[in-house]
Amino acid sequence: MRFSAEQQNFVESVRAFCAKECGTPQQRAELTEGGTLADSPALLRRLAELGWLGISLPAEYGGQGGTFVDECLFLEETARGLAPTTAYGTGLTAVQTYLHWGNDEQKRIVVESICAGNFEAIALSEPGAGSDLASARMAADLDGDDFVLDGQKTWTTAAHLANHILVLVRTDSSSSKHEGLTLLMVPADAPGLEIRAIDTMYGRTVNDLYFTQVRVPVSAVVGTVGRAWQQLNRGLGVERLIIAASSLGSAQRSFDDVLAYVTQRQQFGRTIGSFQAVRHRMADLATEIALCRTFLYDVADRLDAGDEGGLSRDSSTAKIRCTEAAKNTALEAMQLMGGYGYAREFGMEAQVRKALAPPIYGGTNEIQREIISRSLGL
Ligand SMILES: Cc1cc2nc3c(=O)[nH]c(=O)nc-3n(C[C@H](O)[C@H](O)[C@H](O)COP(=O)(O)OP(=O)(O)OC[C@H]3O[C@@H](n4cnc5c(N)ncnc54)[C@H](O)[C@@H]3O)c2cc1C
């Protein structure tokens, strides 16, 4: 799609911000305590001050009232600029469900939280329920006017930074696995909730959550008791676009860096980018990124127009291609940079580590292929 002059100016502004605030390895190390954290709360607050968070969220609840295309431009450009703010996308995912199913107070609280530069989390996965999410078992039993939560959630991004966690619980185990699931808005500092970091290859971001007699009032229900499975569907479709937009930015950044490298690096008396074997690989990467961009923004544009008929299928397509483009581009770039691709100093190894997770989270790419297959009647 064609972007307006205003959108192009916005992208330029985000690019300049990233170059200034997190453009050097030293700046990024300072923001992430030497790379041990995936996200920088300080940088997210700076973005909030500029009015760039919650671009696509409704103005009536405190958002910027813009389009999802603009949101994707922001996500793409911050990923391209290596801003350590990936978990912003997780809050943006959680808020989709609040906006569609939550009450006015829940919507206002979460939208304001995100726009102010706070984190919001969503806890669906359990040790025994990953791809088969509907088999989630963590219980919440009604006791007077409260639900009492007991059990474990896992892989919850940014729970340790978040104000609230949108938690999937089983409130009825007597019916089929797709029924009896409920969503609850749980304060991250609720008594009885323990949040423990999971050690991963890309800095602190994900957590195990242990619930012991955690009480929340019935007013914490988001939507309808027992209908979480049906309610989650649209939000997870939008999540796939959020992941796709960030991954596109990551792919573009790896491409930018390797293009600069092959243009400058000399072997056998010429730049390595002048060898046809290298040029064709660069052309293939550029082709894939261009197609990903065109497709992603087409889906985002249709979402803005209220055309959600193909959202589930098309967001899966965008998620597969953009996350695989980010992974393949980073791996190809590492190979094309030779030993320097493997060294921390040149940054490509971090791009590789970062690009390995998105094909897994937000529903693995195998599960996305299942969604697409189902849309084909298979
Ligand atoms: C960095 C990161 C962040 C995350 N953030 C969150 C979060 O914020 N909130 C949250 O709730 N969860 C989060 N997750 C969890 C994530 O969504 C799950 O890891 C993912 O859904 C896969 O579940 P699993 O790990 O249990 O793998 P499994 O479901 O056990 O899958 C293992 C393998 O089997 C394959 N497989 C399973 N079923 C099928 C099938 N039917 N057909 C073909 N292949 C299949 C999978 O594709 C995968 O390759 C995060 C995970 C990571 C790594």
pLDDT exceeds 90 at position 92: yes
Examine the domain organization and report whether 97 and 134 are in the same domain: no
Examine the domain organization and report whether 267 and 354 are in the same domain: yes
From 201, 226, 251, the end of a domain falls on 226
From 69, 90, 117, the end of a domain falls on 117
pLDDT exceeds 90 at position 311: yes
Examine the domain organization and report whether 237 and 326 are in the same domain: yes
CB count in 10 Å sphere of residue 79? 24
User: What's the CATH code of the domain at 138?
Assistant: 2.40.110.10
Q: How many domains does the chain have?
A: 3
When pLDDT is averaged across residues 163-190 and rounded to a whole number, the result is 97
Say if pTM beats, i.e. exceeds, 0.75: yes
Examine the domain organization and report whether 242 and 355 are in the same domain: yes
Examine the domain organization and report whether 251 and 269 are in the same domain: yes
User: What's the CATH code of the domain at 263?
Assistant: 1.20.140.10
pLDDT exceeds 90 at position 106: yes
Gap from CA of 133 to ligand 1 centroid (Å)? 9
Residue 334: which residues within 8 A CB-CB, separation 6 or more?
A: 341, 342, 348, 349, 351, 352
When pLDDT is averaged across residues 106-135 and rounded to a whole number, the result is 98
Examine the domain organization and report whether 315 and 367 are in the same domain: yes
Indicate if ligand 1 lies below 6 Å from the C-beta of 360.
yes
Examine the domain organization and report whether 339 and 294 are in the same domain: yes
For a pocket test of ligand 1, which of 39, 131, 186, 207 has the largest count of ligand atoms closer than 8 A to its C-beta?
131
Tokens of 321: 């291609």
Q: Round to the nearest angstrom and report the end-to-end CA distance of the chain.
A: 31
pLDDT exceeds 90 at position 230: yes
When pLDDT is averaged across residues 170-180 and rounded to a whole number, the result is 95
Indicate if ligand 1 lies below 6 Å from the C-beta of 361.
yes
Examine the domain organization and report whether 356 and 265 are in the same domain: yes
From 188, 204, 226, the end of a domain falls on 226
User: What's the CATH code of the domain at 54?
Assistant: 1.10.540.10
**Which residue is closest in CA terms to ligand 1's atom 40?**
367
pLDDT exceeds 90 at position 225: yes
Gap from CA of 7 to ligand 1 centroid (Å)? 35
Do residues 52 and 14 lie in contact, with contact meaning Cβ atoms separated by under 8 Å? yes
Range of the domain at 183: 122-226
- Phi, psi at residue 195, to the nearest 5°? -115, 120
Examine the domain organization and report whether 80 and 65 are in the same domain: yes
CB count in 10 Å sphere of residue 13? 13
Examine the domain organization and report whether 277 and 369 are in the same domain: yes
Examine the domain organization and report whether 211 and 326 are in the same domain: no
